[in-house]
Structure 1
Amino acid sequence: MAVTLPRPHRDDLRIAAGGLLGGLFLWGVGLYSRTRDDPIILVDRTWAVLVPLVVTAGCELLRRSRPRTALIIGTLAIAADLVTRGSLATLVMFTDLMYAAVLYGSLGMARRLPWITGMVTVVLTVGPVAAWRKPEALLIGVFTGLVTFTPAATGWIVRNHRDTAVAERLRAEQTALLAEIDRAQAVTAERARMARELHDMVANHLSAIAIHSTAALSLDDPKTSKDALAVIRENSVEGLAEMRRLIGILRDDSGDLEPAAAPTLDGLEALTKGARTNGLDVTLDATHDARLPAPVELAAYRIVQESLTNALKHASPGRVTVTVAQLDGSLCVRVTSPYGDRDGPRAPGSGAGLIGMEERAALLDGTFEAGPEGRGPVKVWTVRATLPLTHRTLGTDGGSE
């Protein structure tokens, strides 16, 4: 099977061409690394210098794609160059192959090469000095260190800086991605919160308006129509005030409007009174401490408000009971209304109210249940919510209406 070599990088092509042309120039003008009387020379032919030069230049084409192969072949080429008169260009290209092997090679090879070349440098420094006992023998170690250890160490330093830069860039990208996810989640949570607030504040008034306007249009009784119009006007004014307050909160960026705007359990009496005005037979039984966490009070208030709105739209004639009691570190809310067969709701609904009540309880680690109870002709629709009075998210959810 034929082996397909990867296409050389443009910079590798430039390096190989520059090294080859430089070596040919030095060979053409007769500049060599060693003189003819050097005892290490075994092949005293001018053309012999070109063989290691061409091989090393060819290895430069593989310095990035196959650094290990390039270094092995380059090492053999530099060994062959040592027994000729030698070319400075071949030597320089070999140092680049050593540098590239550490920079582009595997991590294991990159870690080993500086140690191997360092040990070779030490051996070729101490060995000749001990054998010949001449200071000039140190030049062998210095030369070996410059050709092998120095480029290997330089490649390791550059590789560390490169890997650090890559890691920092990836970390920055991950941080930006997490920030974008957090922003999207915050926007989604805020949209859900505003949807709950808008539904809970306005749905009660609009449902009463729809029911009483239907009565005013269907009954030919001036007194009944007048009473219905009075209720419609009252709910319209209150609904408009709620909308203006909500719009003010959305437009104001100081945050000053939010704490003062949140309703509390003290407003349950007024809430049930308004439900009686709209035609519900409501009783209220509320026993709790004077001061409760603001998110719990807001959630309980909104759950009662939405339950009364649903009773106004869907309940059969009969009494609606609202019970709010503090028990075992939790606030328990229970709303019951008559449940039976009807031709249809007195006002249209979307089902978002039940979803909103469940979300409010879940945000406080509470529980929520809603559904019919009882058998036979006597059935009631019961809404139950249990809201813990201590929770890590208190003060971060619905209390910031």
Structure 2
Amino acid sequence: MNRTAQPAGTPVRSVPSKFRGPFVRWPRIADATLALAMFVAVTSLEEGPGDSLVVRPVVDLPPAVLLLFAAAGAALYWRRHKPLAVLSVALAAWAPMLGSSYANVGGIVIVALYSAGRHTQDRRWGPLGVVAAVGAVTLDGLLLSLPAGEIGFGCLVMLGAWYMGRRLRLRSERAAQLRQEQAAEAQRIAAEERTHIARELHDVVAHRVSMMTVQAGAARMVAAEDPQGALEAMTAVEEAGRQALDELRHLLGVLRPKAERDGLGPQPGLTDLPRLVAQVREAGLDVSLTDDIRAPLPARVELSVYRIVQEALTNVLKHSGPHTRTEVRLGHDQCGPGISIEVLDDGQGAALQSVSGTARTTGMGGHGIVGMRERALLLGGTLDAGPRPGGGFRLTAHLPVQPVLGEPA
């Protein structure tokens, strides 16, 4: 069984999230701070001799210029929701000041160009805004008699700001599309597994059970008048039941992992985990087991714990190879009634080094994580899996411990 991509809507609690800066965590506050900082910069700084920046007294600014600065700076607050309008306001505020000492609104225009590329799907007005900004830079340079190289650099900065925003948007759109495709694939795999099992159960068992029902009904009807006929009918029911049981055992053997097909015996539980770990060690995996569960668990929960650990260790051995350092940790949840399962590996095995990181996380061709997640969801729990920042893989499952109504603990 391979590692299969998790649904996009499932939060990955077991994998540390990427660094999220203030523009992601608090977008409105960050945009307001950016707008204020840009306004303060354009009003209090101006270009001095030798391309230096000098402080300019705000009282020296004409009221009309101060109003244009305020409009251009304040517009940045809406740069995510109305990026093209913000770019238009910034260009309109910059145009009357081209060729003067107040034409330092270009910094605001750069931010507006980046925002237009990052936060809009429009493919026509964004490039037109770049053309307008490049034209403004060229005109300002000509009016100030700047060198051609300096004008060209300014044009490249304007183009680069929009292009960077556009590239980031396209990359995020591709990532979102990939998550949707992986979620759809996971749902398809789960539905395919359910359909397969349901079809097999119907084809193998339904016919025999139908025969048993008919024969039992016939025996009940003739029991008083024809005891011998009733006995023969019940004998047929017994035979059909034996055949159905044999076929059901065969079906369950096919659906089980290969290692469990030798016999039907008792279902494995927590007491069988040390034996499982020993078997995996014999296969070459460097695995340790920490079991802090002391209270008795319902039978279904114990079976699910065993199967999840078994599948996780199989994935580690298959994807990372022998000598991979692996830790299995079992314990009680600290925040509520339930147990937690954590399987960590460092991904530093001696085999399968040609397997790419994408293949490890998406699990092309198998249903491993989907099957484990389905098992956890059936108990009302959760299962998350994904790569670790320092390398390797991490799987975490949380299962409730309350027994289902009618199920023995």
TM-score, with length taken from structure 2 = 0.45
Structure whose alpha-carbon radius of gyration is higher: 1
Higher RCO structure (Cα 8 Å, ≥6 apart): 2
